[in-house]
Amino acid sequence: MTALLPEAPIFKATGVGCRFGGVIALDSVDFQVGPDEIVGLIGPNGSGKTTLLNVLSGIYRASSGSLEIDGKPSRFKSSRRLSRDHGLARTFQNIRLCPSLTVRDNVLIGMHSGFRWYDALWTGGRGSRERRSVERVEEILEFVGIADKRDEIATDLAYGDQRRVEIARALATNPRLLLLDEPAAGMNPREARVLVDLIKRIHDEREIAIVVIEHNMNVVMNTASRVMVLDAGLCIAHGDPKTVSSDPHVLEAYLGKRFRDA
């Protein structure tokens, strides 16, 4: 199992726990992502997957354990600094787009880290950096395949397209590590296949490490090079997709004791 772990992880979490009052959402989890990996994160509902992602991306504070990004402690870093300084981007389980803005504006929001607030005072939206950003947004929209919908209001799009806008917005931050929280939720099998391709292309062409939470096993098995299974805030299995999917603990967590040895 240890042989699978990356040599020089971008992100390293050791014994991370997160509790809300008496609820232990994460008990103690070790987690690492290397620069050229796609890590799948699976587990039953309520097992702590999204909490782990929220802790990694600085939206929740870990109650215990240590977090390192690029070898520096990151437990108390804000999500803004993780995004701006360390290239960490994410999407959300329940699509969170800015509902009244166009697709292009939504993606442009991902490019804010390069701007200082006073830039606008003398360039008024016409500065060379802004123009370059708009060009880059075009390229990203092209890449995820929604360039023709750039001027539509984001929430008017179909569900699968909204997911892609979210991914585009995350890509706009120029990340090195992308956290995807159930990107295939609500997609039909065809859309899910397109998504698998997109995830692979993001990884291969843009050289971005990816952590993907997913219930759709097709997506996980076809993308992840390494899978980690959480249950009740603990890691119960870890390894390559094949091994994990036949692990008795995993079967038990998903299907109940009865199926464990079936």
Question: Contact between 254 and another protein (CB under 8 A)?
Answer: no
Question: Contact between 44 and another protein (CB under 8 A)?
Answer: no
CA gap 150, 83 in Å, rounded: 24
Question: Contact between 112 and another protein (CB under 8 A)?
Answer: yes
CA gap 49, 214 in Å, rounded: 9
CA gap 9, 34 in Å, rounded: 4
Q: Is the dihedral of CA 121, 168, 186, 17 positive or negative?
A: negative
Shortest spacing between CB 200 and another protein, in angstroms: 24
Q: Is the dihedral of CA 59, 224, 84, 194 positive or negative?
A: negative
Instruction: Using the minimum distance from each CB to another protein, give the nearer residue, 8 or 23.
Output: 23
DSSP classification of residue 247 = -
CA gap 79, 83 in Å, rounded: 6
| Number of neighbours of residue 47 by Cβ within 10 angstroms | 23
> Which of 2, 94, 128, 246 is the binder for another protein (CB under 8 A)?
94
Select the span of 97-105, 143-151, 195-203, 247-255 touching another protein (CB under 8 A): 97-105
Q: How far is CA 160 from the centre of its chain?
A: 16
Select the span of 19-27, 89-97, 136-144, 224-232 touching another protein (CB under 8 A): 89-97
Radius of gyration of the chain (CA): 19
Shortest spacing between CB 57 and another protein, in angstroms: 6
Instruction: Using the minimum distance from each CB to another protein, give the nearer residue, 113 or 225.
Output: 113
Select the span of 5-13, 117-125, 189-197, 254-262 touching another protein (CB under 8 A): 117-125
Question: Contact between 113 and another protein (CB under 8 A)?
Answer: yes
- Interaction site with another protein (CB under 8 A): 57, 59, 78-80, 83-84, 89-90, 92-101, 105, 108-113, 115, 117, 119-121, 123-125, 127, 130, 133, 169-170, 172-173, 185
